Structure 1
Amino acid sequence: MKTADPELMRAINRFHVMDAIRRSGPVSRVEISQLTELSSTTVSAITAALLDDRLIVPLQLGAVRDAGRGRPRVMLRLNPDAAHVVGVKLAHDQITVAVTNFCADILRSLALPIRIDRQTASVIGDLVEDGVRRCVSDAGLDIAQISGVCVGLPGVVERSAGICRQSPILQERDVQFGADLGHRLGVPSTIDSDVNLVTLAEYWFGQARGLNDFLVVNVERSLGLGILHNGELFRGANGLSPDLGDLIVRSLNGGGERLADVASEASVLIEAEALLRENDLDATLHQGRAIALLLKRAAGGDERCARMLAAAGEALGFAVASLITLFAPPMVIISGRAMATSDHFIAPLRKTVSALLPASLADVSDIVVREWSDETWVRGAAAMTLRDLYGAPWGTTGPASAPDTRVPQVGEL
């Protein structure tokens, strides 16, 4: 992280002005000054530079006039054509790609159904490169017009180095995916955990838009955790993403086990495999179909399936209660597309959290369930790159400084 010097302060002020325009635009300079608590002189200097760089554009609103001066007030908004970026989400059965403008509006997207977890990292790199190039072309753009690419995937990601330390969808460990993709495309490329992307998407576009502190717990094959603190994503040393699935919890025999081994979709399906195959011999051939069958049976009154979901919900409830005790966030978002949306899973989770929280924290956090589409995830990936383009001068709110791996700003490209 940069030292506290005039250059850093200018970068921080510039980012806050850009972020205020993104969140509230069209907005006047007076309103920007109020939102950022910066002086009118500082705001005027920064917005003048942003206008020169064509990162923002003015709007003359004839109905809105400056008090006492009788002339139309100039409102400022982001220039949607200032840059274009690409977001990519890797899931075990699909690659999703989206091209967005500078305002994170999706211009074109595509989905490539493929079993990622059966491919080598090199083959996945080929597929992502082809998908990005095709989506960019479909959007009527050239790859040279792309300012940055961000790829999200489950697992432990060291963003500053562009390395995926481990992922349930990759066969290899310590894969240098970011640098490889950047070399293939000739475009600045980063990677991040998929839950960080959905956390940023919630902050920019979703239900948590007005909050500066909240948690996201993602429930899919593995368990992910996104932490937003004071408007910034929490990262560990070198930009490492937190991973909830590797949290050690006490097992029934008194030992320790990973939370993902008792509360993820993968763990539930391992336990349910024999049960699912009783009447459907192909149930385990496709995980998405298997989890759908499990949820259907639970909804239809199968008590054994319901108990499996409840046990997983209770196990995750213990972890969520601990997270609320540690962070006291106003909101905890449980995200996912299958098990996370089942009342047989969520109701026991809520009940466990309620029973475990101390009275002082009983009413602090709202637990909200959100089902996100892949398109929303890739929009979060695009937002991650846009945040870099806006000039965010810090890379982590975690315990250790990270090297400055900022994607070059639009004016520097």
Structure 2
Amino acid sequence: MRPTPRPELFPAHTPAAPQIFTIVLSHGPLTRAEIARRACLSPAAVTKAVRPLIEAGYLVEDVDEESRTALGRPANPLRVDGGRALFIGLKVTGDEIIAVLSDLCCRIRVARHVPLGDREPKAVLAEMTGLVHELLTEAEGFGVQVRGVGVAVSGDVDRAAGMVRYSPFLEWREIPLAELVAMTTGLPVTVDNDVRALTVAEQWFGAGVGLSDFALVTVGAGIGCGLVVGGRVVSGAHGVAGEIGHLSLDPAGPQCHCGNRGCVEAIAADSAIVRDVRTATGTPVADAAEALELAHRGDPGAREVYARAGEAIGRAIGSVVNLLGPERVIISGEGLAAYDLFAEQIRDAFAASAFGTAGRCDVRTRPLPFEEWARGAAATAIQSFIRSDTHKE
């Protein structure tokens, strides 16, 4: 196996450089004056920060021919050169690994899906390593080095420590995943909760661009929530934040895998819906797809299960809005396939639980393919590269 070249460091020669680069990444092209306004910095501070970024090729100045001949200093816009660096994103589910090779603007260049037959950490690590080296080979065709790897895993993930504290779908506890992947790939590695990773991508490139406060709620195998408050993704003091799936709505309700009863996830996650549809209809549905098909055929018991799930999700969203007052809540995840069955209940429960003007929050849906979760993982790698806070080899 050939050695991986040591990645170069991001040229952040001033404390403002990561902030400025992120602003251009999300909103560019922008002139220096526009960057200064958005960053609340002086023009001199912006000029000092962007000069080494331009010299290193991370920012490109688009020369306006008209402004070239105008009096005074030209206001040429700056943009990120997406082809300057590549990143790998890995989303690990209980059934498969989705891998993407993205550029610096988080545009997917290559995508791969590998089924996961064995969830033991050693077996998963081997599959991840194989995918990384496969994508490193793909990167050679672009003539650009891969600067980092991002890994997204569901559950309690401590990004600062690079640890998967607990992942219920993988049945992992206390796995130092960042260290293990860095050892086998030779690249800087960032490991984060999958919903938080997706939230980073939505903040930079999706429905959260330009918003200082929003929430991303995901429905499907689990019920997750990513939070952006004051322009920053909230991780919590111990790496746990936004776990609305474990809000207990009914202390006498069904038991959740976390050990509590009546959690949103125990009512509205795919496995809970399958369980309740079996009970309500007497039909041995095998998975969420069969439960959904039964409900779409009009079975009243199945439809009632989805209605209860929608009510639980709506109440959970109401709790988020009451606590944080976000401008927007984005609902996504594979569970949106059933949205027509519980959209009304989500809206009604949200309206009933939102306090006062919190009910004005813009609640919208955004279907995303699974590659977007891996893209979110790549976004965390880009974020760590810009901030130089990744786990090095």
User: Is the shorter-chain TM-score for this pair beyond 0.5, marking a shared fold?
Assistant: yes
CA distance in 1: counterparts of 2:112 and 2:152, whole angstroms: 15
- Paired residues of 1:385 and 1:407 also in contact (CA < 8 A): no
Number of equivalences: 377
Moved more, 193-202 or 333-342: 333-342
Q: Tell me, yes or no, if structure 1 residue 322 matches structure 2 residue 319.
A: yes
- Paired residues of 2:13 and 2:49 also in contact (CA < 8 A): no
Alignment of 1:251-270 (within 5 A): 251-252=251-252, 256-270=261-275
Alignment of 1:73-112 (within 5 A): 73-112=75-114
Match among 367, 370, 373 for residue 371 of structure 1: 367
CA distance in 1: counterparts of 2:391 and 2:172, whole angstroms: 26
**Alpha-carbon spacing, 1:277–1:130, altered in 2? closer, same or farther (3 Å):** farther
SS in structure 1 opposite 2:82?
Answer: coil
Alignment of 1:182-193 (within 5 A): 182-193=182-193
CA distance in 2: counterparts of 1:98 and 1:63, whole angstroms: 40
**Alpha-carbon spacing, 1:267–1:226, altered in 2? closer, same or farther (3 Å):** same
Number of the residue aligned with 2:201: 201
CA distance in 2: counterparts of 1:358 and 1:57, whole angstroms: 47
CA distance in 1: counterparts of 2:335 and 2:107, whole angstroms: 27
Q: Tell me, yes or no, if structure 1 residue 68 matches structure 2 residue 64.
A: no
Match among 311, 329, 332 for residue 329 of structure 2: 332
1:24 maps to amino acid: H
SS in structure 2 opposite 1:250?
Answer: coil
Match among 270, 278, 288 for residue 273 of structure 1: 278
The TM-score, its normalising length taken from structure 2, stands at 0.88
Q: Where does structure 1 lack aligned partners over 5 or more consecutive residues? A: 1-7, 285-289, 393-404
Number of the residue aligned with 1:19: 22
**Alpha-carbon spacing, 1:98–1:41, altered in 2? closer, same or farther (3 Å):** same
Q: Tell me, yes or no, if structure 1 residue 47 matches structure 2 residue 45.
A: no
1:314 maps to amino acid: E
Number of the residue aligned with 1:134: 134
Structure 1 residue 108 displacement after superposition: 1.2
CA distance in 2: counterparts of 1:253 and 1:49, whole angstroms: 58
CA distance in 1: counterparts of 2:229 and 2:238, whole angstroms: 18
Structure 1 residue 27 displacement after superposition: 2.3
CA distance in 2: counterparts of 1:348 and 1:259, whole angstroms: 14
Match among 32, 35, 41 for residue 32 of structure 1: 35
CA distance in 1: counterparts of 2:185 and 2:114, whole angstroms: 19
Moved more, 383-392 or 308-317: 383-392
**Alpha-carbon spacing, 1:160–1:119, altered in 2? closer, same or farther (3 Å):** same
CA distance in 2: counterparts of 1:195 and 1:250, whole angstroms: 24
CA distance in 1: counterparts of 2:66 and 2:271, whole angstroms: 57
Q: Tell me, yes or no, if structure 1 residue 151 matches structure 2 residue 151.
A: yes
SS in structure 1 opposite 2:320?
Answer: helix
1:360 maps to amino acid: T
Number of the residue aligned with 1:303: 300
The TM-score, its normalising length taken from structure 1, stands at 0.84
CA distance in 2: counterparts of 1:329 and 1:212, whole angstroms: 8
Structure 1 residue 296 displacement after superposition: 2.0
Structure 1 residue 143 displacement after superposition: 12
CA distance in 2: counterparts of 1:213 and 1:199, whole angstroms: 12
Deviations along 1:9-40, one digit per CA (max 9) or x if unpaired, are: 942x2122112221232322222222222112
Structure 1 residue 294 displacement after superposition: 1.6
SS in structure 2 opposite 1:249?
Answer: coil
CA distance in 1: counterparts of 2:142 and 2:29, whole angstroms: 29
Structure 1 residue 124 displacement after superposition: 0.5
Deviations along 1:90-123, one digit per CA (max 9) or x if unpaired, are: 12222111111222122211111334xx420110
CA distance in 2: counterparts of 1:340 and 1:215, whole angstroms: 20
Match among 358, 370, 377 for residue 381 of structure 1: 377
Q: Where does structure 2 lack aligned partners over 5 or more consecutive residues? A: 1-11, 255-259
SS in structure 2 opposite 1:41?
Answer: helix
**Alpha-carbon spacing, 1:299–1:56, altered in 2? closer, same or farther (3 Å):** same
CA distance in 2: counterparts of 1:225 and 1:319, whole angstroms: 10
- Paired residues of 1:219 and 1:340 also in contact (CA < 8 A): no
Moved more, 124-133 or 142-151: 142-151
Counting aligned pairs with the same residue, the percent is: 27
- Paired residues of 2:94 and 2:119 also in contact (CA < 8 A): no
CA distance in 2: counterparts of 1:218 and 1:387, whole angstroms: 22
Number of the residue aligned with 2:6: none
CA distance in 2: counterparts of 1:183 and 1:345, whole angstroms: 45
CA distance in 1: counterparts of 2:50 and 2:299, whole angstroms: 61
